[in-house]
């Protein structure tokens, strides 16, 4: 019997997942509280930016395999991919998961599988099962299966990674793990790694904390090297010649809504034991302020000169500005130097971001144009386009390169 799958939350994760399953000929209903997302999908369009996804969605909708709705339908499998941001105290905001679980609960009749895909603190899948059974005391305990299967795709590569990445499959019971694995086998050729729900929740957070701690180490080295008058890029390059050393590249801070958020869920769950993870978060959160101080010192040496700020995205070669340290630094610099003109260059966006739009002393420009105008240049993101800048172009300019992209200039 063909199962009917409902994917709850049609954002950066839910929509590609729904499309990947529908593309295998399994009927999928996408559910979202946002009419714009639902209408777009039903018209065979997409409302997010992800390469090639438009064609996959258009075909799945045309084939009748993918539809979208704001009403929770009856289904055999529910996959929940709603946001899990953090609250002011940096604990996880589970209100989206709770609301989604309760609306799924209303559609259940027993025998279904509910999979949580949202990145969540350890214990959330168990909590989800409690919410469902509190909302539906008529359902037999154990009659609905629950699992956590975290997502680890890279934006820009989502369709390929959904198919190829290994997946952690953590059921609340072994039966839930087994049934959830069968769902991922529909579209995933990577290894399916069975475990329990709490371990699956923890492992996802561990992966991003690993990245964060390693980036913090590189960022801390950049501060130490600056204090000691050592070129950090050269020092890291030399250290990485050791066969078992692989230090990452320092940068202006850590952004996006995964690496900068997920470690806090571990800290909130075990504050006394998470000293290294917490300190790494603090080191990375402090880095934009340090860059800002260096940039302001550079500007002070060139009174009145136009400054070019290169890159606004939270990492290279993407258009995502969410929680971007580069954007934060640009905003602060422009605001604090109201009497100076700034040009920002972000090859991946076509209009000046809202955070800068209201400020009178900044405009968006192309790279050549910006470099022709500016006597101060701050490189904030190592987009590929910036690698082509020659040392001749930079002669006579005050330069701050936060990514080491021009270290050999």
Ligand X SMILES: NC(=O)c1ccc[n+]([C@@H]2O[C@H](COP(=O)([O-])OP(=O)(O)OC[C@H]3O[C@@H](n4cnc5c(N)ncnc54)[C@H](O)[C@@H]3O)[C@@H](O)[C@H]2O)c1
Q: Catalytic residue numbers?
A: 204, 258
36 or 335: whose CB is closer to ligand X?
36
Instruction: Work out how close the CB of 70 gets to ligand X at its nearest, in angstroms, rounded to a whole number.
Output: 8
142-143-144 Cα angle (round to 5): 90
CB contact at 8 A, 169 and 200: yes
Q: Which of 23, 81, 162, 378 touches ligand X by CB under 6 A?
A: 81
Q: Which of 7, 9, 112, 405 touches ligand X by CB under 6 A?
A: 9
Distance, CA of 330 to CA of 378 (rounded, Å): 9
Q: Which of 27, 56, 112, 151 touches ligand X by CB under 6 A?
A: 151
Beta-sheet strand order (sheet of 362-364): 362-364, 342-345, 307-310, 376-379, 398-401
CB contact at 8 A, 145 and 293: no
**Strands 307-310 and 192-196: what pairing?**
unpaired
Q: Which of 108, 258, 362, 370 touches ligand X by CB under 6 A?
A: 258
Q: Which of 90, 99, 286, 316 touches ligand X by CB under 6 A?
A: 99
Q: Which residue has the tokens 């589970």?
A: 94
Give me the 227-246 binding string for ligand X, x by CB under 6 A, dash otherwise: --------------------
**Strands 77-80 and 113-116: what pairing?**
parallel
Q: Is 32 helix (H, G, I), strand (E, B) or coil?
A: coil
Per CB under 6 A, does 119 bind ligand X? Answer: yes
Q: Which of 30, 155, 252, 253 touches ligand X by CB under 6 A?
A: 155
Stretch that binds ligand X, among 96-104, 192-200, 354-362, 381-389 (CB under 6 A): 96-104
Per CB under 6 A, does 13 bind ligand X? Answer: yes
Neighbours of 56 (CB within 10 A): 20
195 or 341: whose CB is closer to ligand X?
195
81 or 291: whose CB is closer to ligand X?
81
Per CB under 6 A, does 156 bind ligand X? Answer: no
Point out the residue whose Cβ comes nearest to ligand X: 11
247-266-278 Cα angle (round to 5): 55
Q: Which of 82, 94, 266, 344 touches ligand X by CB under 6 A?
A: 82
Residue 2 Cα to chain centre, angstroms? 33
> Where would I find the beta strands (DSSP E) of 267-366?
307-310, 342-345, 362-364
Per CB under 6 A, does 32 bind ligand X? Answer: yes
Give the interface with ligand X as residue ranges (CB under 6 A). Answer: 8-14, 31-34, 37, 81-84, 96, 99-100, 103, 118-119, 151-153, 155, 258
């Amino acid at each position: 019997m063909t199962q009917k799958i409902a994917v709850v939350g049609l954002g950066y994760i839910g929509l590609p997942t729904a499309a990947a399953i529908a593309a295998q000929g399994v009927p999928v209903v996408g559910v979202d509280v946002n009419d714009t997302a639902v209408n777009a999908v039903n018209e065979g369009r997409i409302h997010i930016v992800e390469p090639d996804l438009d064609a996959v969605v258009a075909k799945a909708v045309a084939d009748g395999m993918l539809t979208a709705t704001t009403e929770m339908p009856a289904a055999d499998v529910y996959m929940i991919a709603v946001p899990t941001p953090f609250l002011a105290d940096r604990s996880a905001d589970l209100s989206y998961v709770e609301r989604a679980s309760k609306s799924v609960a209303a559609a259940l009749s027993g025998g279904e599988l509910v999979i949580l895909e949202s990145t969540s603190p350890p214990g959330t899948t168990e909590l989800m099962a409690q919410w469902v059974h509190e909302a539906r005391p008529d359902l037999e305990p154990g009659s609905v299966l629950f699992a956590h299967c975290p997502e680890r795709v890279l934006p820009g590569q989502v369709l390929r990674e959904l198919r190829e990445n290994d997946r952690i499959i953590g059921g609340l019971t072994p039966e839930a793990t087994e049934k959830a694995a069968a769902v991922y086998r529909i579209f995933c050729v990577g290894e399916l790694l069975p475990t329990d729900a709490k371990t699956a929740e923890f492992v996802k957070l561990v992966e991003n904390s690993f990245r964060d701690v390693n980036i913090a180490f590189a960022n801390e080295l950049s501060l130490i090297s600056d204090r000691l008058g050592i070129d950090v890029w050269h020092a890291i390059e030399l250290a990485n010649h050791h066969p078992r050393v692989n230090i990452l590249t320092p940068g202006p801070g850590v952004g996006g809504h995964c690496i900068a958020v997920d470690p806090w869920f571990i800290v909130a769950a075990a504050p006394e034991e998470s000293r290294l993870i917490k300190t790494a978060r603090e080191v990375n959160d402090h880095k934009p302020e340090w860059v800002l101080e260096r940039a302001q010192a550079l500007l002070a040496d060139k009174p009145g000169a136009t400054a070019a700020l290169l890159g606004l995205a939270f990492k290279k070669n993407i258009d995502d500005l969410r929680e971007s340290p580069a954007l934060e630094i640009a905003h602060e610099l422009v605001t604090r130097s109201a009497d100076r003109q700034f040009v920002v260059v972000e090859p991946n966006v076509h209009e000046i971001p809202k955070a800068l739009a209201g400020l009178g002393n900044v405009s968006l420009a192309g790279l050549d144009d910006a470099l022709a105008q500016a006597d101060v240049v701050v490189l904030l993101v190592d987009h590929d386009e910036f690698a082509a800048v020659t040392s001749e172009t930079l002669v006579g300019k005050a330069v701050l390169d936060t990514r080491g992209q021009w270290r050999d200039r």
